[in-house]
Structure 1
Amino acid sequence: MANATLTMEERNTMQIHPSRKKLLIVTGISLLLGGCSISDWYNGYYVEKSANISYQRKSDAYYNSESPQMKELRKKNDAYCTDLAHKPENRLQEKGYPNGVFNEPMYELCMIKRGTPTYGAYSSIMQAKKRDAERRAQGEIVPY
């Protein structure tokens, strides 16, 4: 009886072993073939999502740090600059849009001139200042 039980255990072990080998081979091949798209996903979807979240977080922090008076001024300036950029004579002509499109550069400049730059304008101004400071440190002549 004990000899029959031992034979059954050996038989079960022998039957499981080849299927484990096949599973390991199939898993290895699928990982190798799927590995190409993982880098595409990481560099495309994940990085874009991460950049959007980071920009949104910094933008919210920029606008939330303003005083109530500055927020009120921003609302007034936003209404004025939006109206100015939407006027038919100020719209940008682009193919496929017979009435033109919103003049974003005019809106940005209007907000800057009125003392309430948008976060996008503020961040580009700060990047330009950092770049100029680095160039000055390297010995290049950059006007202040």
Structure 2
Amino acid sequence: MANVILTLKERDIMQIRRVKPILFIVTGLSMLLTGCSISDWYNGYYVDRSSMKRYTKRSDAYYNAESPEMKELRKKNQAYCSDLASRPENRIAKIGYENRVFNEPMYRVCMRERGTPTFSTYESMQAEKRRAERRARGEIIPEYW
């Protein structure tokens, strides 16, 4: 009887000694994987960083492709439109800002009307041209209300 009890205790001890490292490894891996998810990194940090790089690259290419005369005109227009959009009577009221904020839409319209559209305005104009071409080819069917 004593041999049977001793044998059972040895088996239990051996099983516990094998389970502890496995349990430690599984717990450690689960904590690591839930704390630092690959999808969180990819969808958050990586995508934001890569899209900003792509936007900056295209924006720089757009502004660097301008002629020297156009660059001078852009400087003049920027000074005029910035002054116009930052005047107190043209500022936009926003919660939390006592003196209101810079009128970005007015700035963009002013730059476009004076012949030097900003890069974001240029992109939206190109997208509208592509949509109009697709509508003309019949790829996009306009919905009537």
The TM-score, its normalising length taken from structure 2, stands at: 0.74
Partner of 1:98: 98
Q: 1:127 to 1:139 in 2, by over 3 A?
A: closer
* Mapped pair 1:140 → 2:135: no
Query: Mind listing any 5+ residue stretches in structure 1 that lack a counterpart?
Result: 1-18
CA-CA distance at 1:99 after TM superposition: 1.1
AA paired with 2:33?
Answer: G
C-alpha separation in 1, matches of 2:54 and 2:128:
20
What do the CA deviations read for 1:36-87 (whole angstroms, capped 9, x no partner)? 7110110111001000000000000000000000000000000000000000
Please list every run of at least 4 consecutive aligned residues from structure 1 whose deviation after the TM superposition is greater than 3 angstroms.
139-142
CA RMSD of aligned residues (A): 2.8
**SS of residue matched to 1:49:** helix
C-alpha separation in 2, matches of 1:139 and 1:38:
37
AA paired with 1:92?
Answer: I
C-alpha separation in 1, matches of 2:129 and 2:114:
20
**SS of residue matched to 2:135:** helix
Partner of 1:14: none
Structure-to-structure mapping, 1:41-120, within 5 angstroms: 41-120=41-120
What is the percent sequence identity of the aligned residues?
A: 53
CA-CA distance at 1:112 after TM superposition: 0.1
The TM-score, its normalising length taken from structure 1, stands at: 0.74
C-alpha separation in 2, matches of 1:56 and 1:32:
37
Corresponding residue pairs, total: 124
Partner of 2:29: 30
CA-CA distance at 1:129 after TM superposition: 1.3
AA paired with 1:34?
Answer: L
Query: Mind listing any 5+ residue stretches in structure 2 that lack a counterpart?
Result: 1-17
AA paired with 1:30?
Answer: L
**SS of residue matched to 2:47:** helix
AA paired with 1:140?
Answer: I
